[in-house]
Amino acid sequence: MSPKPAPPRRPRRLLAGLGVALLAALVFLAGWILPTATGYVAKNACSAVFVAGRDPGRVGAEDLAPQSYVSFTVDREQRRVRASVFGLAARTAVYRDGLGCALAIGAAPESLQAQTVALPHAPASDAPWPIGEGERLAADPPGLDRAALDAAVAAAFAEPNPDSLRRTRAVVVVHGGAIVAERYADGFDRDTRHLGWSMSKSVTNALVGILVGRGLLTRDAPAPVPGWAGDPRRAVTLDQLLRMSSGLEFEERYGPLADATRMLFEVDDAADVALARPLAHDPDTVFSYSSGTTNILSWIVRRQFPELAAYHRFPHEALFAPLGMRSAVFETDASGTFLGSSFVHATARDWARFGLLYLRDGVWDGARILPEGWVAYSRTPTKTGVGDYAAHFWANAPDPADPDKRRLPHVPADAYQAAGFQGQAVLIVPSRDAVIVRLGMTHDRAAWDLDGFASAVLAALPAA
């Protein structure tokens, strides 16, 4: 009788191979994909809780709903937030006095938490806004349609589509230097800080402008980056960085393995990501929106100060304090460099003060904050763009290739704005002497129509 043949081994080998593949996938997921999500959640939950003073449950349900697969815990005693996915890819963000939250990447939370800056603020006065926190004018200016203005503002908070929420949280309308309309969503008020996201880029514009006015930086000179001295990047100017026409390679995509998310949520020194990029185009030949170039500017600004503490005080002493922006918090990465691309927090009234500074040509209460000509420069469209990007502001000028096409077609062409992710906007309209601030948490861009909202507000204001 012949021996019974051995059973085939392929299923066992197949299972072993699948196990190895699954393990490799888990390692890749935990090491490369999930840290982006857990870093995003830890950082933004920390800021929402400790900078804005908001409830963690509501933050998770609203702000972080797209990342609902990430869990986070808040340690109020240590002022930290830890996020993970079933314990994998854990990230911790810590709060620092005066500097907000930062991810503890490459440094122990204890050492990062030692970074603080003392920012004594004078108490707010009861003087009329913008000097103090007094109410708007007792009587509406002639020509203002109060019913239409209130209706336009109320419409911004309406939710016509329950499947695509606007989540407007604050609106402030300024005309003639006074607040003429102001409204907040439930759970928010005039003291709530709001994250500006890319409106922070316009704050970086102001800081660069102040240093240009002091003679420490030169707008049209090569950017002072020693590491670029030996290669073609040495020709890149400060102006080209401000206009996103530097030619530097950078992937402005927010997802796993992208330059932008790696810069903000996966490294301790954000500027290093962009500083290391080669040229993809000759400078001043192609417009390419890049948060990386803004953080290069933040790094350049840092190099103008002999010590870190002086750098950390600079935005407050030179910009926020003169404007009365007592709420402003400018967050840094773990290395201590301001994340100028993304992380300025302020109340709606303080964002309106920032817009009013530009509406008033960089002059505040009789004192020049920004150098003469800086505002005109900042709102002039980039020649390599399509007409709608200026120098860290978005213009509303016509597209050179299509004069009938503008970013906001129903808003005057002289308007320009600081704009940020999820519908943040400080819209400045010189021809109407107006600043319109809208802050919210709009995950679906299609849910919010800034053009329609702003045109309705402007229609209710007095004619020029």
Nearest-CA neighbor of 159 among 450, 447, 423?
Answer: 447
Would you state the pLDDT for residue 427?
A: 98
Would you state the pLDDT for residue 3?
A: 56
Query: CA–CA separation, 188 vs 384, rounded Å?
Result: 40
Would you state the pLDDT for residue 24?
A: 42
Query: CA–CA separation, 438 vs 337, rounded Å?
Result: 28
Would you state the pLDDT for residue 27?
A: 42
Low-confidence ranges of the chain (pLDDT < 50): 20-32
Is 71:85 a contact under the CB 8 Å cutoff? yes
Query: CA–CA separation, 212 vs 244, rounded Å?
Result: 18
What's the pLDDT tens digit per position in 13-43? Answer: 555 555 544 444 444 444 447 999 999 999 9
Would you state the pLDDT for residue 16?
A: 53
| Torsion angle of C-alpha atoms 165, 169, 171, 172, degrees rounded to 10 | -170
Helix (H) or strand (E) holding 265: helix 259-265
Would you state the pLDDT for residue 336?
A: 95
SS3 276: coil
C-alpha 127: how far from chain center? 30
What's the pLDDT tens digit per position in 246-298? Answer: 999 999 988 777 899 999 999 999 999 999 999 999 999 999 999 999 999 99
What is the sign, positive or negative, of the torsion defined by CA atoms of 145, 148, 152, 154? positive
pLDDT, averaged across the chain: 92
Nearest-CA neighbor of 328 among 53, 99, 116?
Answer: 99
pTM of the model: 0.92
How many Cβ atoms are within 10 Å of 189's Cβ, its own excluded? 11
What is the sign, positive or negative, of the torsion defined by CA atoms of 235, 238, 244, 250? positive
